[in-house]
Structure 1
Amino acid sequence: MLRRARELAMRALFAHTQGGVDLEEAFRHALEEMGGEDDPYGDALDEEGIAFARRLLQGYTAHQEEVDRILRETVEGWDFAQMSKTDLTVLRLATYEMLYEPTPFAPLIEVAVKIANRYGGEHSGAFVNGVLGRLYRRIQEGELKTVAKEA
């Protein structure tokens, strides 16, 4: 269920940042696309999943400057203009979640890679995994602070 919520947040943020669509409108549209009975990607989201997706979007929006700064420092050899916009969107939400949500790192990274593989290009999963791995190392080395993680 949380994977689907992360996909919802990614799709809404992508439409907002790339299409210039109001974030709430993008969220409603993505929810309609993902929530229908004919959705080929799985079960409809419940209220908890929808609330989690909203929290990710609101959290990223509130911390956008810091998240993007940390992401720029972590990505090696690429700037945002060169990156796949799908990969960038996945990385923005995953970076926010790694820093500000109690989600354990391993499942968060695993789901981000799966979402990148589903929506991105041939090498998106490997790219996202590499960037998030570097971010995780920065956290482990004490360079970056995060909220306490669930066991």
Structure 2
Amino acid sequence: MLRRARELAMRALFAHTQGGVGLEEAFRHALEEMGEEEDAYSDPLDEEGVAFARRLLQGYQARAEEVDRVLAGTVEGWDFAQMSKTDLTVLRLAVYEMLYEPTPFAPLIEVAVKIANRYGGEHSGAFVNGVLGRLYRRIQEGELAAAPKEG
């Protein structure tokens, strides 16, 4: 369920940032689209999943400058204009979640890579994995603070 919630958040943020659609309108549209799709690999979105997706979006929106600053300092050899917009969107939400949500790092990174593979290009999963791995090391080394993690 949380993978689908993260996909919902990613699709809404992508539509918002790339399509110039208001965030709430993009969220409603993405939710409607996902409700019409079948996904054999995960449970359908329930109220908890929809609320989680909304929390990720609102959290990123509230801390966008900080998340983007951390992301820019973590990505090596790329700037945002050079990056795939899908990869950038996946990374923005994953960085927000790594820094501010209680989600354990390993499953969060795994799901971000799966979403990048599904929606991005041929090398998106590897790129996202590398960036999030560097961010994880920065957190582990004490360079960045992150919310306490569950479990």
TM-score, length of structure 1 as denominator length: 0.97
Is 1:137 aligned to 2:141, yes or no? no
Distance 1:26 1:104 in 2: 28
Unaligned runs of at least 5 residues, structure 1: none
Distance 1:139 1:81 in 2: 25
Structure 2 counterpart of 1:128, which letter? V
SS at match of 2:146: coil
Deviations 1:51-103 (A, max 9, x none): 00000000000000000000000000000000000000000000000000000
Structure 2 counterpart of 1:40, which letter? E
Q: How does 1:1-151 map to 2 (within 5 A)?
A: 1-36=1-36, 39-42=37-40, 43-151=43-151
RMSD over equivalenced CA pairs, Å:
0.7
Distance 1:34 1:45 in 2: 8
Distance 2:89 2:145 in 1: 22
Structure 2 counterpart of 1:41, which letter? D
Deviation at residue 18 of structure 1 after TM alignment: 0.3
Deviations 1:99-144 (A, max 9, x none): 0000000000000000000000000000000000000000000000
Q: How many pairs are equivalent?
A: 149
Deviation at residue 40 of structure 1 after TM alignment: 3.0
Structure 1 counterpart of 2:88, which letter? L
Deviation at residue 41 of structure 1 after TM alignment: 2.5
Distance 2:39 2:80 in 1: 29
Distance 1:147 1:113 in 2: 21
TM-score, length of structure 2 as denominator length: 0.97
